[in-house]
Structure 1
Amino acid sequence: RGMFRVDDLTQDLYFSENAQMNGSLWPGLRNLKGVSEGSMTRYPLKRYEPLKAELDAFLMAVIENDHVPVSGEDGLAALRLALALVESGRTHQVVQVADDSI
């Protein structure tokens, strides 16, 4: 377990592991420390201008009489996931998201 962090400006994705979950803390100390930072992983992402990519994909779908790569259902699933993330941050609890909604 841990936390993902997205930097929209630099288009970087990070995962910070909770040190409690990897067993690196002595159990007695774990109760006193609470959540503690473990290792951090940076995931490389291909950088692009998101609005231009969205417009290009829409134009290609129109030109080729094809489906758009991201549907309204995909957008709804993204919204549900974002709302679950907000709820998790607000309540400091893990929020389960149904697999069929993402």
Structure 2
Amino acid sequence: MLDEYLRILADAHRRTILTSLLEDNSHSVSPDGADSGGELEDGESREQARIELRHVHLPKLEESGLIEWNRESGAVARGPEFEEIEPLLELLANGYDQFLQSRLN
């Protein structure tokens, strides 16, 4: 199961969705201004990000049971398997801050 979780977390879009659910059990997910055109920081178009979100990332997370996704409203909530990945998400969230601090020193 760890390997599957690491594959899921390998993508920044999926990590962002899951870590946002650590703080808030449910919310609407949309790439920043995805419907307005333009490019994201990594050069990915907002339209491409929106398409990948709806057709790749959210379905993958929903299929794994980590989220529940309402396609009509865009609402995303913790799924029945979220508790299984939660400790790993917390480790990543806290460990990343520690990693950054160690790089600055």
TM-score normalised over the length of structure 2: 0.31
Please identify which structure carries the higher helix content.
2
Q: Which has the higher contact order (CA 8 A, sep 6+)?
A: 2
Q: Which has the larger radius of gyration?
A: 1
Please identify which structure carries the higher strand content.
1
TM-score normalised over the length of structure 1: 0.32
